[in-house]
Amino acid sequence: MKWKVGKGDECELPATASVWLTDDPQPGLVLVEFTDVYGRPHQLVGKSAYFGGDLLPTSTYPRRTAIGCTIEDIKGEIATVSVHWVFSRVTDMPFTFDVQLDALAPVAADRG
């Protein structure tokens, strides 16, 4: 059965965990990268628990991961999604970006 997405749905965006940055604060910080629908690269730094998969200091990097996000809007094949733990310094609103709708996946059972 195909997953149907809609505005307000929680989802995951595939990304790459590039490097483990530090063990402090617990559970540790990791640098994660992805590219939006316009080809612009983005980097997020966050606690490893914010992302999908086993991200540990002893893991091999780069490695696949996922960014949990919420669908804010859908226009054709483009979804505007937000990451609620990252806020814009300019607007104090959650960080939003556009991605291909078919790149999104339902939240993994072990994360949801």
What are the pLDDT digits (tens) for 55-79? 999 999 999 999 999 999 999 999 9
Domain ranges of the chain: 10-106
Instruction: Work out the percent of the chain whose per-residue pLDDT is above 70.
Output: 86
Statement: the pTM of the whole predicted model exceeds 0.75: yes
Q: How confident is the model at residue 88 (pLDDT cuts 50, 70, 90)?
A: low
What's the N-to-C CA distance of the chain in angstroms? Answer: 19
Q: Which residues contact 100 (CB under 8 A, 6 or more apart)?
A: 37, 77, 78, 79
Q: How confident is the model at residue 109 (pLDDT cuts 50, 70, 90)?
A: low
Q: How far is CA 58 from CA 19, 28, 42, 53, in A?
A: 11, 12, 24, 13
For the stretch 1-53, pLDDT in tens is 466 788 999 999 999 999 999 998 888 999 999 999 999 999 999 999 889 88
CB 22 within 8 A of CB 29: yes
pLDDT of amino acid 2: 63
Q: How far apart are CA 67 and CA 15, in angstroms?
A: 7
CB 20 within 8 A of CB 28: yes
For the stretch 51-60, pLDDT in tens is 988 899 999 9
